[in-house]
Chain A
Amino acid sequence: MKYLDEYRDPLKAKILSEKIHAITTKPWTIMEICGGQTHSIVKSGLEKLLPASLSIVHGPGCPVCVTPLEMIEKAIMIALKPNVIFTSFGDMLRVPGNSTDLLHVKANGGDVRIVYSPLDAVAIAQKNPEKEVVFFAVGFETTAPANAAAVWQAQKLNLKNFSILCSHVLVPPAIEGLLSSHQNRVQGFLAAGHVCTIMGYEEYEPLAKKYNVPIVVTGFEPVDILHGILMLVTQLEAGRHDVENQYSRIVKRKGNRSAQEMIFNVFEISHRSWRGIGEIPKSGYRLKDEFTRFDAERKFDLGAVAAMEPPQCIAGNILRGLNKPHECSVFGTQCTPEHPLGAPMVSSEGACAAYYHYRK
């Protein structure tokens, strides 16, 4: 396929790998933010192509992994209600709550439906006026305009039976959270190409300056990732800390203005709690006041929900790049993709699942 195959070419990967070897003189720790990149790195065995002194740690960029357990519980509580059609991207269905997951709710007769696009959820609401249709709106900046557009469309159609369970998160505040921690050991970042497709990369420039870290906006295919790593190591070796764009065929400095407008028509910035990490100020979106009638949390008046994390799970450390999945004591034994204890084992973009599938 055009614009995919070129970036999976083993010869190009080999050349990039040799260049990275040639310029690397010191040990460096770099982080890829995005779960899609984690998956690509582990699946294509890129770490084997890199110098041993270069350590790649995996960041918090998997929306499935960072959606708080409380939200999963709320989703389950809503999906269990009799008059509800609960819609979601497929990845969220297997995330375990305290006692069950959405897939089991579905297996036991609950009306839980996987949708490809949030607009599909709006169409379901249109077709089923006697039911309450709820969409689980999770994701990073990449997904926010689509989820906003669904709410916008529901408003235009004057739908009374559509709402979203909103758990939107943002990348730059998470990077800042990592960098400002005294435990931080990350020296450079691969920024997530599709997040920057929407938002551009101006927001990263003050971060690179303040914390002296180079940041390279990077694509998702193996050649893109190796190219991004080469650009990052080049900067590290030269003592530079700029924001650079490897993914220039897709990403522009200012991002996609129409998409940003759509986001801010519907959402405003809010504090968000991240699973395994805790609350990060101004790190997410919530519905603006004029759209609160589309807010499922209000509609179903769920109040506070208690949720207990399994004590063995060290997902928080993994998402902050402090540990790798195989360092978890229950990795691959008590915790497997069939019986996940934590979210990073559920999603195919979670670091634990990627290690389990491709590194065993």
Chain B
Amino acid sequence: MCLAIPGKIESFVENSDPKMGTVNFGGIRKTVCMEMLPEANVNDYVIVHVGFAISIIDEEEAKETLRMLSEAGELKRDLGE
């Protein structure tokens, strides 16, 4: 039930209360509540749970984790495995 999925903020709904925005989840758009992320901007990736955006995805951290994992992968290929 704690499922939360990533999507990209496309726009904010003007004068909405609570503050709402349109988030694109791989082609499917939904209007979600932005009240928990006052600092979010258009084009930010966020994760959404039960209609609420709850966190902005940190691109740098994501890249860093993936870089670590793929470095390990290249090492394996170099070793001919």
**A residues neighboring B (CB under 8 Å):** 1-4, 6, 11-12, 15-16, 19, 34-36, 61-64, 89, 91, 116-120, 138-140, 142-143, 145-146, 149, 153, 156, 192, 194-195, 197-198, 220, 223, 227, 246, 248-251, 256, 258-259, 262, 347, 349
Tell me how many residue pairs across A and B have CB atoms closer than 8 Å: 127
B58 CB to closest chain A CB, in angstroms?
5
Kindly list chain B residues whose C-beta atoms are within 8 Å of the C-beta of A248.
58, 61, 64-65
Interface pair B70/A3, CB less than 8 Å apart = no
B33 CB to closest chain A CB, in angstroms?
6
Partner of A192 from the list B2, B17, B54, B65 (CB cut-off 8 Å) is B2
Kindly list chain A residues whose C-beta atoms are within 8 Å of the C-beta of B69.
12, 15-16, 223, 227
| Given A12-B73, A248-B61, A250-B47: A6 in contact with B66 (beta carbons within 8 A) | yes
Kindly list chain A residues whose C-beta atoms are within 8 Å of the C-beta of B72.
15, 19
**B residues neighboring A (CB under 8 Å):** 1-6, 8, 17-18, 25-26, 32-33, 35-38, 45, 47, 49-52, 54-55, 57-59, 61-62, 64-66, 69-70, 72-73, 76
Kindly list chain B residues whose C-beta atoms are within 8 Å of the C-beta of A64.
1
Partner of B36 from the list A19, A194, A256 (CB cut-off 8 Å) is A256
A12 to B76 CA separation, bound complex (whole angstroms): 11
- Beta-carbon nearest neighbor of A138 in chain B: B1
| Given A139-B1, A258-B37: A117 in contact with B52 (beta carbons within 8 A) | yes
A195 to B35 CA separation, bound complex (whole angstroms): 18
Kindly list chain A residues whose C-beta atoms are within 8 Å of the C-beta of B4.
142, 194, 197
Interface pair A1/B26, CB less than 8 Å apart = yes
Interface pair B2/A143, CB less than 8 Å apart = yes
Interface pair B18/A140, CB less than 8 Å apart = no
Partner of A149 from the list B26, B35, B58, B66 (CB cut-off 8 Å) is B35
Interface pair A91/B54, CB less than 8 Å apart = no
Partner of A35 from the list B2, B17, B76 (CB cut-off 8 Å) is B2
Partner of B2 from the list A34, A249, A258 (CB cut-off 8 Å) is A34
29 contacts between A and B (CB under 8 A): A2-B8, A2-B45, A3-B62, A11-B73, A15-B69, A61-B2, A89-B1, A91-B1, A117-B33, A119-B33, A138-B1, A139-B1, A139-B2, A142-B49, A143-B49, A145-B52, A146-B51, A194-B2, A197-B54, A197-B55, A227-B65, A227-B69, A248-B61, A249-B59, A249-B62, A250-B47, A256-B55, A258-B35, A262-B36
A15 to B68 CA separation, bound complex (whole angstroms): 11
A191 CB to closest chain B CB, in angstroms?
12
A19 to B76 CA separation, bound complex (whole angstroms): 11
Kindly list chain B residues whose C-beta atoms are within 8 Å of the C-beta of A227.
65, 69
Interface pair B70/A12, CB less than 8 Å apart = yes
A198 to B50 CA separation, bound complex (whole angstroms): 14
B50 CB to closest chain A CB, in angstroms?
5
Kindly list chain B residues whose C-beta atoms are within 8 Å of the C-beta of A195.
2
B9 CB to closest chain A CB, in angstroms?
13
Partner of A146 from the list B3, B26, B49 (CB cut-off 8 Å) is B49
Interface pair B47/A197, CB less than 8 Å apart = yes
